């Protein structure tokens, strides 16, 4: 006697069919594209990795990183040696000696008579010609270079800068109380440095 097959209710069959459709959708619309994308990505990456250009790039990155490491290490060594030098008694002594000499030359400049100041200026620049920016080798000077060499001749440790920057720096030093600015003509003394501005041009000189 054959057993009768149990028929599933329509609702259950519809549910199972619905599950199958979802499974097929996930497989066809999501799983397969993801697999294909992974395969395509693998092929592209493999082609890049095996190419000569990629090897050159990797080599350049390795060399760059190694150079950076070496440079960084060298900088650390340099800073360490510099710190030892700055903190050494020999360096401190040389700095103190330099400051002592600068103070002596500053005092000598301040105490110089106006005739001595004028005589030195005339002796230095009586046979020179004017040229913007100056050229020592051709015995040509502009105002700022002339003032620079004049102060250096007295032992001053100053760097070259144009008149505009000189004026700005002087103002900044005065604001910090490190430089005295004359407020009127009666306060001006021989040896003072003056800066003037005419419209768009600047000029400097020594009183």
Tens of pLDDT, residue by residue over 25-55, are 666 666 667 777 777 777 777 777 677 776 7
Q: What whole-number percentage of the chain has pLDDT above 90?
A: 0
**pLDDT score for 2:** 47
Q: Is 150 inside a domain boundary? A: yes
pLDDT band at 1 (very low <50, low <70, confident <90, very high): very low
- d(CA 105, CA 153) in angstroms, rounded, equals 10
Q: Is 132 inside a domain boundary? A: yes
Q: Is 63 inside a domain boundary? A: no
**pLDDT score for 13:** 65
**What is the number of residues in the chain?**
207
Q: Determine the structural domain holding residue 125 and report its residue range.
A: 88-206
Count how many domains the chain has. Answer: 1
- d(CA 127, CA 137) in angstroms, rounded, equals 13
For 150-178, write each residue's pLDDT tens digit. 888 888 888 888 888 888 888 888 888 87
- d(CA 205, CA 191) in angstroms, rounded, equals 9
Are 179 and 173 within 8 A, CB to CB? Answer: yes
Q: Is 158 inside a domain boundary? A: yes
Q: Is 53 inside a domain boundary? A: no
């Amino acid at each position: 006697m054959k057993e009768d097959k149990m028929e599933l209710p329509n609702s259950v069959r519809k549910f199972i069919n619905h599950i199958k459709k979802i499974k097929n959708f996930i497989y066809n619309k999501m799983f397969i594209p993801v697999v294909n994308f992974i395969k395509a990505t693998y092929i592209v990456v493999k082609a890049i990795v095996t190419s000569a250009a990629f090897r050159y790039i990797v080599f350049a990155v390795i060399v760059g990183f190694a150079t950076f490491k070496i440079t960084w290490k060298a900088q650390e060594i340099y800073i360490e040696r510099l710190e030892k030098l700055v903190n050494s008694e020999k360096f401190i002594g040389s700095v103190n000696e330099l400051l002592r000499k600068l103070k002596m030359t500053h005092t000598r400049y301040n105490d110089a008579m106006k005739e001595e100041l004028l005589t030195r200026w005339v002796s230095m620049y009586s046979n020179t010609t004017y040229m913007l920016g100056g050229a020592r080798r051709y015995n040509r000077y502009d105002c700022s270079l002339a003032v620079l060499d004049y102060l250096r001749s007295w032992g001053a440790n100053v760097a070259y800068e144009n008149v505009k920057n000189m004026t700005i720096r002087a103002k900044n030093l005065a604001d910090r109380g490190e430089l005295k600015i004359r407020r009127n003509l009666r306060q001006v003394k021989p040896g003072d440095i003056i800066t003037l501005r005419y419209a768009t041009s600047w000029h400097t000189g020594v009183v």
